[in-house]
Amino acid sequence: MDSEWIPPDVDGQRPSVARVYDFLLGGRHNFASDRDLATGLLRIEPQARELAFANRAFLGRAVAAIAAAGVDQFVDLGSGIPTQGNVHEVAQRVNPGARVVYVDNDDVAVAHSRSILVGNDRATVIQADMRRPAEILAHPELTRLVDLSRPVAFLLVAALHLVKEEEDPAGIVATLRSAAAPGSHLVISHLTHETAPGKTAAIAKLYDRATSPAVPRSHAEILALFDGWDMLEPGLVYVPEWRPHEGETDPEPERFLVLGGVARTG
Ligand SMILES: C[S@@+](CC[C@H](N)C(=O)[O-])C[C@H]1O[C@@H](n2cnc3c(N)ncnc32)[C@H](O)[C@@H]1O
Protein backbone atom coordinates (compact mmCIF):
# COMPACT_ATOMS: atom_id res chain seq x y z
CA MET A 1 0.00 0.00 0.00
CA ASP A 2 1.33 3.49 -0.74
CA SER A 3 2.26 5.46 2.35
CA GLU A 4 2.30 9.03 1.04
CA TRP A 5 -0.61 9.89 3.33
CA ILE A 6 1.33 9.00 6.50
CA PRO A 7 2.79 12.16 8.08
CA PRO A 8 6.21 11.80 9.73
CA ASP A 9 6.16 11.01 13.48
CA VAL A 10 2.51 9.96 13.47
CA ASP A 11 1.56 7.76 16.43
CA GLY A 12 0.20 4.60 14.84
CA GLN A 13 0.03 2.66 18.09
CA ARG A 14 -2.76 4.58 19.78
CA PRO A 15 -6.12 4.26 17.99
CA SER A 16 -7.14 7.60 16.52
CA VAL A 17 -10.83 8.52 16.44
CA ALA A 18 -10.30 10.10 13.01
CA ARG A 19 -8.71 6.96 11.54
CA VAL A 20 -11.28 4.62 13.16
CA TYR A 21 -14.04 6.69 11.56
CA ASP A 22 -12.17 6.58 8.23
CA PHE A 23 -12.04 2.78 8.50
CA LEU A 24 -15.79 2.60 9.23
CA LEU A 25 -16.46 4.69 6.13
CA GLY A 26 -14.38 2.35 3.98
CA GLY A 27 -11.28 4.58 3.82
CA ARG A 28 -7.68 3.36 3.82
CA HIS A 29 -6.08 5.97 6.04
CA ASN A 30 -5.85 3.77 9.11
CA PHE A 31 -3.47 1.46 10.95
CA ALA A 32 -3.80 -1.94 12.65
CA SER A 33 -4.48 -0.27 16.04
CA ASP A 34 -7.41 1.64 14.51
CA ARG A 35 -8.86 -1.43 12.82
CA ASP A 36 -8.54 -3.32 16.08
CA LEU A 37 -10.58 -0.69 17.94
CA ALA A 38 -13.09 -0.57 15.06
CA THR A 39 -13.47 -4.34 15.29
CA GLY A 40 -14.27 -3.97 19.01
CA LEU A 41 -16.76 -1.24 18.14
CA LEU A 42 -18.45 -3.41 15.52
CA ARG A 43 -18.72 -6.18 18.09
CA ILE A 44 -20.60 -3.82 20.44
CA GLU A 45 -22.56 -2.11 17.65
CA PRO A 46 -22.74 -4.17 14.45
CA GLN A 47 -24.41 -1.17 12.74
CA ALA A 48 -21.48 1.16 13.43
CA ARG A 49 -20.69 1.58 9.72
CA GLU A 50 -24.30 2.43 8.96
CA LEU A 51 -24.24 4.96 11.82
CA ALA A 52 -21.14 6.61 10.37
CA PHE A 53 -22.72 6.82 6.89
CA ALA A 54 -26.00 8.18 8.33
CA ASN A 55 -24.01 10.84 10.20
CA ARG A 56 -22.15 11.82 7.00
CA ALA A 57 -25.45 11.98 5.11
CA PHE A 58 -26.90 14.26 7.81
CA LEU A 59 -23.84 16.50 7.47
CA GLY A 60 -24.37 16.68 3.70
CA ARG A 61 -28.08 17.52 3.96
CA ALA A 62 -27.43 20.15 6.65
CA VAL A 63 -24.66 21.86 4.65
CA ALA A 64 -26.74 21.83 1.45
CA ALA A 65 -29.71 23.37 3.32
CA ILE A 66 -27.56 26.07 4.92
CA ALA A 67 -25.84 26.89 1.61
CA ALA A 68 -29.24 27.06 -0.09
CA ALA A 69 -30.31 29.51 2.64
CA GLY A 70 -27.51 31.81 1.43
CA VAL A 71 -24.70 31.15 3.91
CA ASP A 72 -21.40 30.92 2.05
CA GLN A 73 -18.85 30.48 4.86
CA PHE A 74 -18.38 27.21 6.77
CA VAL A 75 -16.09 26.31 9.67
CA ASP A 76 -16.00 22.54 10.18
CA LEU A 77 -14.58 21.67 13.62
CA GLY A 78 -13.47 18.06 14.07
CA SER A 79 -13.68 17.67 10.30
CA GLY A 80 -12.08 14.23 10.04
CA ILE A 81 -10.36 12.44 7.18
CA PRO A 82 -12.18 13.55 4.09
CA THR A 83 -14.18 10.95 2.28
CA GLN A 84 -16.76 11.61 -0.39
CA GLY A 85 -19.28 14.36 0.20
CA ASN A 86 -16.92 16.78 1.88
CA VAL A 87 -18.27 20.05 3.14
CA HIS A 88 -16.50 22.11 0.45
CA GLU A 89 -17.82 19.80 -2.28
CA VAL A 90 -21.42 20.01 -1.01
CA ALA A 91 -21.31 23.76 -0.30
CA GLN A 92 -19.49 24.68 -3.53
CA ARG A 93 -21.98 22.62 -5.54
CA VAL A 94 -24.74 24.93 -4.25
CA ASN A 95 -22.58 28.05 -4.34
CA PRO A 96 -19.21 27.82 -6.13
CA GLY A 97 -18.05 30.86 -4.15
CA ALA A 98 -18.55 29.17 -0.76
CA ARG A 99 -15.53 29.16 1.57
CA VAL A 100 -14.70 26.33 3.94
CA VAL A 101 -12.24 26.09 6.83
CA TYR A 102 -11.60 22.58 8.13
CA VAL A 103 -10.25 22.19 11.66
CA ASP A 104 -8.88 18.99 13.14
CA ASN A 105 -6.13 18.04 15.58
CA ASP A 106 -5.32 14.68 13.98
CA ASP A 107 -2.10 14.52 11.94
CA VAL A 108 -3.50 12.19 9.27
CA ALA A 109 -6.76 14.13 8.96
CA VAL A 110 -4.90 17.41 8.48
CA ALA A 111 -2.32 15.98 6.05
CA HIS A 112 -5.01 14.36 3.93
CA SER A 113 -7.20 17.47 3.92
CA ARG A 114 -4.18 19.50 2.82
CA SER A 115 -3.51 17.12 -0.05
CA ILE A 116 -7.06 17.12 -1.39
CA LEU A 117 -7.40 20.89 -1.08
CA VAL A 118 -4.37 21.72 -3.22
CA GLY A 119 -5.52 24.17 -5.87
CA ASN A 120 -8.78 25.06 -4.07
CA ASP A 121 -8.28 28.67 -3.00
CA ARG A 122 -11.63 28.80 -1.20
CA ALA A 123 -11.01 25.94 1.25
CA THR A 124 -8.27 25.36 3.79
CA VAL A 125 -7.39 23.28 6.84
CA ILE A 126 -6.11 24.34 10.24
CA GLN A 127 -4.49 21.94 12.70
CA ALA A 128 -5.97 23.04 16.00
CA ASP A 129 -7.83 21.90 19.08
CA MET A 130 -11.56 22.61 19.04
CA ARG A 131 -11.43 22.88 22.83
CA ARG A 132 -9.68 26.23 22.25
CA PRO A 133 -12.20 27.90 19.91
CA ALA A 134 -10.98 31.48 20.50
CA GLU A 135 -7.59 30.54 19.00
CA ILE A 136 -9.32 29.01 15.99
CA LEU A 137 -11.47 32.09 15.41
CA ALA A 138 -8.36 34.30 15.51
CA HIS A 139 -6.25 31.98 13.33
CA PRO A 140 -4.89 33.84 10.26
CA GLU A 141 -5.96 31.00 7.94
CA LEU A 142 -9.53 31.39 9.20
CA THR A 143 -9.62 35.17 9.00
CA ARG A 144 -8.11 34.96 5.49
CA LEU A 145 -11.18 33.07 4.22
CA VAL A 146 -13.99 33.84 6.67
CA ASP A 147 -15.45 37.26 7.39
CA LEU A 148 -17.00 36.95 10.83
CA SER A 149 -19.03 40.11 10.33
CA ARG A 150 -21.11 38.07 7.85
CA PRO A 151 -23.18 34.88 8.52
CA VAL A 152 -21.10 31.75 9.01
CA ALA A 153 -22.00 28.11 9.66
CA PHE A 154 -20.16 26.33 12.46
CA LEU A 155 -20.21 22.54 12.15
CA LEU A 156 -19.59 20.31 15.17
CA VAL A 157 -20.61 17.02 13.60
CA ALA A 158 -19.79 13.90 15.60
CA ALA A 159 -17.34 16.15 17.42
CA LEU A 160 -18.65 17.32 20.82
CA HIS A 161 -19.10 13.76 22.07
CA LEU A 162 -15.29 13.66 21.96
CA VAL A 163 -15.15 16.43 24.57
CA LYS A 164 -15.45 15.61 28.28
CA GLU A 165 -17.77 17.61 30.51
CA GLU A 166 -14.82 19.11 32.40
CA GLU A 167 -13.45 20.34 29.06
CA ASP A 168 -16.62 22.43 28.71
CA PRO A 169 -18.38 21.53 25.43
CA ALA A 170 -21.03 24.19 26.16
CA GLY A 171 -18.25 26.79 26.49
CA ILE A 172 -16.98 25.87 22.99
CA VAL A 173 -20.40 26.55 21.48
CA ALA A 174 -20.82 29.73 23.55
CA THR A 175 -17.52 31.10 22.20
CA LEU A 176 -18.62 30.37 18.63
CA ARG A 177 -22.02 31.96 19.36
CA SER A 178 -20.41 35.15 20.59
CA ALA A 179 -18.49 35.44 17.30
CA ALA A 180 -21.50 34.60 15.09
CA ALA A 181 -23.08 37.41 13.07
CA PRO A 182 -26.89 37.41 12.69
CA GLY A 183 -27.99 34.70 10.24
CA SER A 184 -25.20 32.34 11.30
CA HIS A 185 -25.89 28.63 11.71
CA LEU A 186 -24.78 25.87 14.06
CA VAL A 187 -24.85 22.16 13.17
CA ILE A 188 -24.33 19.54 15.88
CA SER A 189 -24.55 15.78 15.76
CA HIS A 190 -23.81 13.83 18.91
CA LEU A 191 -23.82 10.28 20.29
CA THR A 192 -26.69 9.72 22.71
CA HIS A 193 -27.32 7.13 25.39
CA GLU A 194 -31.11 7.52 25.08
CA THR A 195 -31.76 4.36 23.06
CA ALA A 196 -29.14 1.85 24.16
CA PRO A 197 -27.34 2.97 27.33
CA GLY A 198 -25.57 -0.38 27.73
CA LYS A 199 -24.10 -0.17 24.22
CA THR A 200 -23.00 3.44 24.50
CA ALA A 201 -21.41 2.81 27.92
CA ALA A 202 -19.42 -0.06 26.35
CA ILE A 203 -18.40 2.22 23.46
CA ALA A 204 -17.25 4.89 25.95
CA LYS A 205 -15.15 2.29 27.76
CA LEU A 206 -13.63 1.08 24.49
CA TYR A 207 -12.66 4.66 23.51
CA ASP A 208 -10.73 5.13 26.76
CA ARG A 209 -7.65 3.95 24.85
CA ALA A 210 -8.27 6.16 21.79
CA THR A 211 -6.95 9.65 21.11
CA SER A 212 -10.26 11.16 22.31
CA PRO A 213 -12.89 9.83 24.69
CA ALA A 214 -16.48 9.04 23.66
CA VAL A 215 -19.02 10.84 25.83
CA PRO A 216 -22.64 9.94 25.05
CA ARG A 217 -25.17 12.49 26.31
CA SER A 218 -28.94 12.66 26.78
CA HIS A 219 -31.33 14.44 24.41
CA ALA A 220 -31.74 17.24 27.00
CA GLU A 221 -27.98 17.65 27.43
CA ILE A 222 -27.38 17.84 23.66
CA LEU A 223 -30.29 20.25 23.22
CA ALA A 224 -28.74 22.47 25.92
CA LEU A 225 -25.63 22.80 23.72
CA PHE A 226 -27.83 24.88 21.36
CA ASP A 227 -28.53 27.47 24.09
CA GLY A 228 -28.61 30.95 22.60
CA TRP A 229 -29.49 29.64 19.11
CA ASP A 230 -32.93 29.22 17.50
CA MET A 231 -33.46 25.57 16.57
CA LEU A 232 -34.67 24.98 13.01
CA GLU A 233 -37.24 22.34 12.02
CA PRO A 234 -37.42 19.45 12.71
CA GLY A 235 -35.43 20.10 15.91
CA LEU A 236 -32.95 17.72 17.54
CA VAL A 237 -33.74 14.29 16.08
CA TYR A 238 -32.00 11.03 15.18
CA VAL A 239 -29.84 11.91 12.19
CA PRO A 240 -31.87 10.02 9.53
CA GLU A 241 -34.93 12.02 10.62
CA TRP A 242 -33.35 15.40 9.85
CA ARG A 243 -35.00 16.48 6.55
CA PRO A 244 -34.54 13.08 4.82
CA HIS A 245 -34.53 12.98 1.05
CA GLU A 246 -37.73 11.59 -0.41
CA GLY A 247 -37.89 7.82 -0.07
CA GLU A 248 -35.03 7.74 2.43
CA THR A 249 -36.95 7.63 5.71
CA ASP A 250 -35.85 4.96 8.16
CA PRO A 251 -38.53 2.99 10.06
CA GLU A 252 -36.32 2.77 13.16
CA PRO A 253 -34.29 6.00 13.34
CA GLU A 254 -33.46 5.63 17.05
CA ARG A 255 -31.20 2.67 16.26
CA PHE A 256 -28.70 5.19 14.85
CA LEU A 257 -27.69 6.40 18.38
CA VAL A 258 -26.74 9.83 17.02
CA LEU A 259 -28.89 12.95 17.39
CA GLY A 260 -28.51 15.93 15.09
CA GLY A 261 -29.90 19.40 14.72
CA VAL A 262 -29.36 22.74 13.01
CA ALA A 263 -29.93 26.12 14.60
CA ARG A 264 -29.61 29.75 13.60
CA THR A 265 -28.89 33.05 15.26
CA GLY A 266 -31.77 35.50 15.24
C1 LIG B 1 -15.88 11.09 14.29
S2 LIG B 1 -14.88 12.23 13.41
C3 LIG B 1 -16.14 13.21 12.65
C4 LIG B 1 -15.73 13.77 11.31
C5 LIG B 1 -16.77 14.63 10.62
N6 LIG B 1 -17.10 15.80 11.42
C7 LIG B 1 -18.02 13.84 10.35
O8 LIG B 1 -18.97 13.92 11.14
O9 LIG B 1 -18.07 13.13 9.36
C10 LIG B 1 -14.32 13.31 14.71
C11 LIG B 1 -13.13 14.16 14.36
O12 LIG B 1 -12.87 15.07 15.43
C13 LIG B 1 -11.47 15.18 15.57
N14 LIG B 1 -11.16 15.65 16.93
C15 LIG B 1 -11.26 14.96 18.09
N16 LIG B 1 -10.91 15.75 19.13
C17 LIG B 1 -10.55 16.95 18.58
C18 LIG B 1 -10.09 18.19 19.14
N19 LIG B 1 -9.93 18.33 20.45
N20 LIG B 1 -9.85 19.20 18.31
C21 LIG B 1 -9.99 19.07 16.96
N22 LIG B 1 -10.44 17.94 16.38
C23 LIG B 1 -10.72 16.89 17.18
C24 LIG B 1 -10.94 13.80 15.29
O25 LIG B 1 -9.56 13.83 14.93
C26 LIG B 1 -11.85 13.36 14.16
O27 LIG B 1 -11.29 13.67 12.91
Residue 146 to residue 178: CA distance in whole angstroms = 15
pTM recorded for the entire structure:
0.97
Which amino acid, residue 131?
A: R
Which CATH fold topology does 17-264 show? Rossmann fold (3.40.50)
pLDDT of residue 17: 97
Q: Which of 22, 79, 88 to mutate to test the pocket of ligand 1 (most atoms within 8 A of CB)?
A: 79
pLDDT of residue 2: 62
pLDDT band for 232, please (50, 70, 90 cuts). Answer: very high
Cα-to-centroid distance, 263 and ligand 1 (Å):
20
Interval 187-196: pLDDT, tens: 999 999 999 9
Interval 80-120: pLDDT, tens: 997 778 999 999 999 999 999 999 999 999 999 999 999 99
Cα-to-centroid distance, 102 and ligand 1 (Å):
10
Q: Nearest CA to 164 among 99, 237, 214?
A: 214
Cα-to-centroid distance, 104 and ligand 1 (Å):
6
Query: Is residue 1 predicted with pLDDT exceeding 60?
Result: no
Query: Is residue 241 predicted with pLDDT exceeding 70?
Result: yes
Instruction: Identify the residue with better confidence: 3 or 124.
Output: 124
pLDDT of residue 84: 75
Q: Nearest CA to 20 among 11, 30, 10?
A: 30
Cα-to-centroid distance, 248 and ligand 1 (Å):
26
Cα-to-centroid distance, 41 and ligand 1 (Å):
17
| Residue 63, φ and ψ in degrees, nearest 5 | -65, -40
Q: Where are the domains of the chain?
A: 17-264
pLDDT of residue 7: 81
Distances (CA, A) of 86 to 59, 128, 230, 264: 9, 19, 26, 22
- Which residues form the pocket of ligand 1, taking CB atoms under 6 Å from any ligand atom? 17-18, 21, 55-56, 59, 78-80, 104-106, 109, 129-131, 157-159, 162, 212
| Residue 263, φ and ψ in degrees, nearest 5 | -130, 170
The backbone region for 18, taken as left when phi is positive above 0, alpha when psi lies in -120 to 50, beta otherwise, is alpha
Averaged pLDDT for residues 206-214: 96
pLDDT of residue 226: 98
Q: Nearest CA to 77 among 13, 135, 35?
A: 135
Percentage with pLDDT > 70 across the chain: 99
Q: Which of 25, 114, 139, 162 to mutate to test the pocket of ligand 1 (most atoms within 8 A of CB)?
A: 162
